[in-house]
Amino acid sequence: MHDTRKRRPTLQDIADRVGVTKMTVSRYLRDPGSVAEATRQRIAEAVEALGYIPSRAPDILSNATSRAIGILIPSLSNQVFSAVVQGVEAVTRAAGYQTLLGHYGYSPEREEEQVASLLSFHVDGLILCDTEHTERTRKMIATAGIPVVEAMDFPEAPIDMVVGMDHRAAARAMTEAMLARGRRHIVYLGARLDVRTRLRMAGYYDAMGAAGLTGEHLLTGESSTFILGGSLLDQALARWPDLDGLFCTNDDLAVGAILRAQALGIPVPGQIAIAGANSLNIGRAISPQLASIITPREEIGREAATLLLASLAGQPLATKVCDLGFTLFEGESLGEIPRPIRS
């Protein structure tokens, strides 16, 4: 049986087509100005005609740096992490660095595999979108001796540099905004159960406890979807029929809850106030507009890349931990703050 795969053009193929040595072609690819103009033109035409794809493997193996940054994200479908990657690449592209992207589905064991894979490509640095790692992951990174940025939240034991925001404080602030509108039976809905879901739940309980109220939560390990948000609303109403507020760990669940409430004829925010996190575009498009925590996702990516490149360049860092803060978009789904009654 013959191998039908198409052979990639080589330097020798270009050299044969142009009538020069392979070394001349290699010199042209490294620095076009190093060969005569007429030869340069013929080589460029041959490269275009053959569809030649340069290989960076020899450069990576022979040089101290690869000019590549590894990025690990937990979800390919989550808009949150696509924004982080966009922020990273806005900085790395301008600095002449390539990015290698890995996906690990919120699994520390899968993250370990992906870290090993990225390190095998001799990446110059890593940006990790989680702060909980296996011991082997930490050991591999320590052995590699490259700069690392953990993004999104703040770990108790950072590997190196950190860029993120305080999800617990943000959740507390959003819960307080709901309490300020007179809501007293607020239920927290969580999915995936990653570290940010747990931090937001802790912030919710901080606010409820400070108000002298007993909080309630409903959690699932499933991935967040609009449908799941509607299902969790149904479950919450069955358990707590007098609930008057829902704080959801993200906008997917919150939007799903709003749509389900509307299908059931439950007025939002008239009967139930609903809030989410991440302030996705869909939350601004629906009616009522969804109250949500604005997470500076693209800015986190930009700052993570900026810190990483500064470290690679040996520049002194003012800080290794950067808190980009948060803001609340109170939208329309919380209702109005009651005005005090004047006597």
Q: Is the confidence at residue 2, as pLDDT, over 80?
A: no
pLDDT tens digit sequence for 233-265:
999 999 999 999 999 999 999 999 999 999 999
Q: Which structural domains are found in the chain, ordered by start?
A: 1-50 (1.10.260), 67-165+297-323 (3.40.50.2300), 167-294 (3.40.50.2300)
Q: Is the confidence at residue 5, as pLDDT, over 60?
A: no
d(CA 343, CA 341): 6
pLDDT tens digit sequence for 218-235:
999 999 999 999 999 999
pLDDT (0 to 100) of residue 123: 92
d(CA 277, CA 255): 11
Please state, for a pLDDT cut of 70, what percent of the chain lies above it: 94
- The confidence band for 299, taking pLDDT boundaries of 50, 70 and 90, is very high
Amino acid identity of residue 201, one-letter, is M
- Indicate the burial class of 200 (C-beta count within 10 angstroms; 0-12, 13-18, 19 or more): buried
pLDDT (0 to 100) of residue 1: 47
| Residue 141, token pair as written in the block | 């990174």
d(CA 18, CA 8): 17
**Does an H or E element contain 242, and which?**
none
Residue predicted with more confidence, 168 or 50? 168
Residue predicted with more confidence, 65 or 18? 18
pLDDT tens digit sequence for 300-314:
999 999 999 999 999
pTM of the full structure: 0.81
Residue predicted with more confidence, 338 or 244? 244
| Residue 145, token pair as written in the block | 């001796």
**Residue-averaged pLDDT of the chain:** 91
d(CA 308, CA 295): 21
Residues 6+ apart with CB under 8 A from 212: none
Q: Is the confidence at residue 292, as pLDDT, over 50?
A: yes
d(CA 81, CA 306): 17
d(CA 128, CA 24): 41
